[in-house]
A and B are shown apart, each in its own frame.
Chain A
């Protein structure tokens, strides 16, 4: 529970290398910290600040703006029930009420066994599938009370472990972008940037044609 481990530090350096300026990697790096520890620890933010070359306060400033970053531990599964307009008129409030009853907790809290944290969420872009929810940002569509109870039982039994990684992991490792060294062009740095070669070639060709006609 602390700084990024060596493997994640390596991945962090790779991510920083995707951008012309290191600070652009801040949000992906905060996600990496959350993937490692389940939430964003102070130590991880200090480490990220060192990697990116900003102050820890700047990392905190960015971290606190975004809803997905948790500053304290949450359950293994974060269940977000959508309260957007389409879900609201299709029964989201009733579903949230059922979830509170079924889990024995209020929205914003975690079950005593540390398995499930329940939250309300704004529109999840699944409006035609209302009411919907996400478990660690994996969708469940047209959720009935019975569906919800079944989902909770499956989460508790581990039946969904293969599909739904613990809170913090978004793209699983095999599906992350890796730019191959022999194929990548390199970040579009500002310093020394000129007209791209293909733009220059076509411009000069057009000018040559213009001068001969």
Chain B
């Protein structure tokens, strides 16, 4: 199992240099050359380059970045750019590294994007709890202003823009783009209804607004320096370039790895880069793409880290968060941890999410505390079904944003795959009468029927 040698597009500098966050190191290592290249093109050409590169947004939804920029209605001004650095999805750890250790790369990406879109101002919204990232980004912005890369008449051209550093105060929901905008307007971070409040049309201050992820921005300087073709040459299918994956949990060497997108497999990451399962134990399950994604199992290890392939198998790559669980894991408690997260972080606006996630947590607490009743299983699934009808994948929505419907997948995964673990807590068998749908919510395959790389048909 050898991984392709690929350029480290977003982590190359920080991997090689401890002082990658300083402007001196940044300028000495191709820094702001992507911005210079962009200013030599028209804004439309820069958008075209990003489209040709097929850069997918790295926030979780995976929408093509260049296409998203094009959604702003023509001739409506001002337009704003908001960068989402509110990384808080359980298992996700990538944007913080980029903000703390190579902040100028993020800033340069913002300058390139705002030039292409034609923005009047850019806002970099960093998660509140990341004090070091605040200091690194604040210092980097001060350096970049002093050097003439940000502000008025950038590099002596007619391109002018301010980047305002903004920081949150602890609310996962603010990672949802319309909630991010509400928060940036100084309000409670509750999502807005779409339509009409699609950010491209009615975003910040109800003006056309592009909301992009930090890692998405960090890719832009490299693309502008090396061209769309060089980026597109990496990866496969719709998943081009490289991508950051945080592999955590029961592996020998947990870590954040930048690997070729689309071709690297889960096995390459878990058993190659991360050295396999701790104590050479057996793999029980792994979360492929953050707290919202249906779990994967041994038979999924040879799937490529490719958006469509993982989607076809019934889950998602999401925010690049892979959490590995070995055979000793109490999956009922693991599932409770995920449900508790959504219950804690529900903003309270929509009833199915506010009430449903709370009930789910209470039922799971009761089961884990040994007070559960066999009928609790169908009650739990019935609540899931009310939050997200038919418990399928991708989840059906009853709510303004996807937070609530993100809670059922972990429970559905465990109930289908490991019913005996619930039975151990309940001290009784149960029969599930509430149907669970979705390709990945599969029971354990028969011992001889494990098909590497595919799902059971």
Enumerate chain A interface residues (CB-CB to B < 8 A).
Answer: 18-21, 23-28, 30-31, 52, 54, 61-62, 65-69, 80, 83-86, 88-90, 121-130, 134, 136-139, 170-172, 174-180, 183-190, 193-199, 201-202, 205-206
Contacts and interface: CB of A to CB of B under 8 A. Distances in A.
B235 to A, nearest CB: 23
14 contacts: A20-B121, A27-B166, A28-B166, A88-B333, A125-B93, A125-B130, A127-B248, A170-B134, A177-B138, A180-B151, A185-B151, A195-B118, A196-B77, A206-B42
Contacts of B145: 179-180, 183-184
Given A175-B135, A187-B162, A198-B158, A24 B247 contact: no
A122 B78 contact: no
A161 to B, nearest CB: 15
Given A66-B171, A127-B246, A186 B162 contact: yes
Interface centre among A65, A68, A206 (most CB of B within 10 A): A65
Given A89-B250, A175-B134, A188-B78, A24 B184 contact: yes
Contacts of B92: 123, 125, 127
Given A23-B186, A68-B128, A89 B249 contact: yes
B406 to A, nearest CB: 13
Interface centre among A27, A137, A175, A188 (most CB of B within 10 A): A188
Nearest to B333: A88
Nearest to A180: B145
Contact of B121 (A68, A123, A187): A187
Nearest to B347: A65
A188 to B, nearest CB: 3
A106 B164 CA distance: 39
Interface in B312-327: 321, 323, 325
Nearest to B185: A24
Nearest to B118: A199
Contacts of A25: 186
Contacts of B127: 125
A4 to B, nearest CB: 17
Interface residues of B, number: 88
B138 A122 contact: no
B323 A194 contact: no
A80 B131 CA distance: 14
Contacts of A90: 248-250
Given A85-B338, A123-B91, 5 more contacts: A54-B186, A65-B171, A85-B341, A123-B90, A185-B161
Given A89-B325, A130-B248, A201 B158 contact: yes
Contact of A85 (B43, B90, B254): B90
Contacts of A193: 77-78, 120
Contact of B205 (A20, A67, A184): A20
Nearest to A52: B186
Given A127-B248, A190-B207, A179 B93 contact: no
Contacts of B183: 27
A83 B334 CA distance: 11
Given A85-B91, A86-B249, A134-B129, A184 B118 contact: no
What 10 pairs across the A-B complex have the smallest Cβ distances?
Answer: A188-B120, A188-B121, A67-B170, A66-B169, A26-B186, A175-B135, A23-B186, A127-B248, A171-B134, A68-B170
A27 B91 contact: no
Interface of B: 42-44, 75, 77-78, 80, 87-93, 95-96, 115, 118-121, 127-132, 134-139, 141-142, 145-146, 148, 150-152, 157-162, 164-172, 183-189, 205, 207, 246-250, 254-256, 287, 291, 321, 323, 325, 329, 333-334, 337-338, 340-341, 344-345, 347
Contacts of B141: 177
Contacts of B128: 27, 31, 66, 68, 137, 170
Contacts of A185: 121, 151-152, 160-162
B179 to A, nearest CB: 10
Interface centre among A30, A52, A122 (most CB of B within 10 A): A122
B118 A125 contact: no
B168 A66 contact: yes
A27 B169 contact: yes
A124 B247 CA distance: 15
Contacts of B118: 195-196, 198-199
A138 B141 CA distance: 21
Nearest to B100: A139
Given A25-B186, A177-B165, A185-B152, A84 B91 contact: yes
A186 B150 CA distance: 11
A183 B184 contact: no
A202 B137 CA distance: 31
Contact of A183 (B146, B168, B340): B146
B318 to A, nearest CB: 13
B300 to A, nearest CB: 18
Contacts of B323: 85-86, 89, 127
